[in-house]
Structure 1
Amino acid sequence: MSTSSLLTRPGQIPLDEEYQKNTGITPEDIAQLRAWLDTQPHLPAGHITDLDLILAYHCCNKSFAVAKEVLDLNLTLRTLFTNYFKNRTIEKPFPGFDSCLFTPLDIRTKSGQAVFYARLIDYDPKNFNFCSAVKAYLMVTDIWQYKEGTWPGFVFMIDLDRIVLSHLTKLDIQTMQQFLYFLQEGMLVKLQGLHFLNAPSFMDKLMMIIKPFLKKELMEVLHIHQIGSRSLEEFVPMAGLPKDAGGEFKTIEQCSKDIIAVVNANADYFIAESNKRVVEAKRPGKPKTISDIFGGVEGSFKKLDID
């Protein structure tokens, strides 16, 4: 079944379908994680699904110890990062979806990893809101995991077509730091690649902004593809890109319409997701704050799974 079909089917991926994947994860594993979760007074155990536990356990290479830390961190960041995880609905205007496209592609990398594609669709820098774009991206990836479950790996492709220097002035450092931290440390995926397509002449300036927040492991699988280059073909079939981005997939406009329709059709998911928040007053020991997260207290629990 194609990604497009999976996104439009009702509800989450059936657990029996997820367990049939070649992950080695069993219901007994998840029961063990559930037993631990029930002992954590600050975590919303009643709202955490078995699929949530599967995603956490899988992205940590089936390490119970690491999965516990990463699930706690994921929920903590969802609680603290209110700019991205509060009021998750599409209301007009919504700068994130109006100015950017965020969509899964039907293709997989040559290593079988899932591929996520992002690009501008409104090229006027005045209409670009980076915080809203991050919020939209996280909404789509949440729905994608809800529908598809685990993937062997996750590759993020950012098409910089028609980006200009004025867009860079909208990339505030706090949002960049929080987004890249969540992407690398708190997101329940095996992040295995980051590709920049159609790199502009000022790509060095963009790298100066993001490099301080990238882990060494991600830097090793970061690939920059120049305008007109076909170097992406080494990793994924370029035919899988949108039609007006050099591929044979749907048009960019149709991709955008389809994703907005999927997000709107799953409003109930986001209502349920809004309950997956930490009650810091109940956390054993000291409650956590954003200062704790970025003050070096947390350290790094999750290792990027790089082949």
Structure 2
Amino acid sequence: MPVLPDPDPILSQCPLNENSAVREMRTEPVTAEEEYERNPGLKKEDIAELRSWMKSQPHLPIVNDEQLILFHHSCYFNLEATKSCIEVYYTTRTNTPEFFQNRDLSRPELQKALEVLQFACLPVKDPNGYQIIFHRLYQTEPRQYVFNDGVKLLSMAIDACLQAEGTVPGYIFLFDMKGVRFGHLTRLSVSSLKKFFLYIQEGMPVRLKAIHILNTQPVIDKIMMLIKPFMKKELTQLIHFHRENDMEAVYKVLPRNCLPKDFGGDQSSCEDLHVDYCQWMQ
């Protein structure tokens, strides 16, 4: 197996103005000592074992303890599961350049994607302390949509959040389907979908707690038929569908104070959150 690249550098973080829709995130990464304090189940000897194991794997890069902690936490401190997660993470990032290379937001294709899509880590966590990430179409013309660039932006948002927050109890993904139609199906490829679901199920270093799909459209049945072969039962059980303009079920699990005003919440608009989060990532 070829030697894998070094992990992504910490995304630079620009200061936010006082009117920013995004909470003031720390400008320094969470330290390992902070992680030990916030995670009683985290053992230094486990991290030492993982560090030693990675050094014995010539195809894996040398990473710092903070990154090892993210992996170990996401696997609920199971050593063998953590090793598997690390393998999938770095192998996928090497073998899927369409998702994980050329991640400079100033690149023309990503600038275009930023006009088509909106996303952000929301400023307020849910009552369980789970971080919420929303993602939706802004321009709904199918010809404008590029799936690979959308995945790239989503992975960048998650990476930036991990760097700023360190470990959190869990993540919730909020996907708004408003504007999604059958033409968008032609923009998907089976090979890209397979790689995407491999990564989020086996390589993404977060504890995924729920996926809420808002404003479901008639095309959702076709989408589920397309992606179901790549989904494990555990992931399928995390998905919750919400009909168009029916947010009451959402409010039962995600209070309004967590959500953007576009979804009937108390936070800033999706557009403001998106603009400020992208500015922060740059």
TM-score, length-normalised on structure 1? 0.79
102-111 or 245-254, which deviates more: 102-111
Query: Which residue pairs with 1:203 in the alignment?
Result: 220
Alpha-carbon separation, structure 2, partners of 1:23 and 1:176: 37
Alpha-carbon separation, structure 2, partners of 1:208 and 1:22: 39
Query: Aligned pair in 2 of structure 1 residues 238, 198: CA closer, same or farther (>3 Å)?
Result: farther
Alignment pair present for 1:245 and 2:260:
no
The alignment of Structure 1 onto Structure 2 pairs a total of residues equal to 260
Secondary structure (helix, strand or coil) at the match of 2:38 reads: coil
Alignment equivalent of 1:78, drawn from 64, 86, 93: 93
Query: Which residue pairs with 2:38 in the alignment?
Result: 21
Alpha-carbon separation, structure 2, partners of 1:42 and 1:187: 19
RMSD of aligned residue pairs (Cα, Å): 1.9
TM-score, length-normalised on structure 2? 0.86
Alignment pair present for 1:123 and 2:140:
yes
Alpha-carbon separation, structure 2, partners of 1:170 and 1:181: 19
Alignment pair present for 1:144 and 2:161:
yes
Residues 172-202 of structure 1, C-alpha deviation per residue, up to 9 Å, x if partnerless?
2211111111011110111121110010123
Alignment equivalent of 1:92, drawn from 108, 111, 131: 108
Structure 1 counterpart of 2:281, one-letter code: V
Q: Report the alpha carbon displacement of residue 6 of structure 1 after superposing the two structures with TM.
A: 5.0
Query: Aligned pair in 2 of structure 1 residues 157, 50: CA closer, same or farther (>3 Å)?
Result: same
Q: Assess if the C-alpha contact under 8 Å between 1:56 and 1:70 holds in 2.
A: yes
Query: Which residue pairs with 1:33 in the alignment?
Result: 50
Alignment pair present for 1:52 and 2:67:
yes
Q: Report the alpha carbon displacement of residue 72 of structure 1 after superposing the two structures with TM.
A: 1.6
Q: Assess if the C-alpha contact under 8 Å between 2:215 and 2:244 holds in 1.
A: yes
Consecutive unaligned residues of structure 1, counting only runs of 5 or more, are 265-307
Alpha-carbon separation, structure 1, partners of 2:119 and 2:211: 15
Alpha-carbon separation, structure 1, partners of 2:143 and 2:256: 31
Q: Assess if the C-alpha contact under 8 Å between 1:6 and 1:147 holds in 2.
A: no
Query: Which residue pairs with 1:181 in the alignment?
Result: 198
Secondary structure (helix, strand or coil) at the match of 1:18 reads: helix
108-117 or 220-229, which deviates more: 108-117
Query: Which residue pairs with 1:257 in the alignment?
Result: 275
Alpha-carbon separation, structure 2, partners of 1:93 and 1:135: 11
Residues 76-97 of structure 1, C-alpha deviation per residue, up to 9 Å, x if partnerless?
1111111111111012342332
Q: Assess if the C-alpha contact under 8 Å between 2:29 and 2:164 holds in 1.
A: yes
- State how 1:270-281 maps to structure 2 within 5 Å: none
Secondary structure (helix, strand or coil) at the match of 2:119 reads: strand
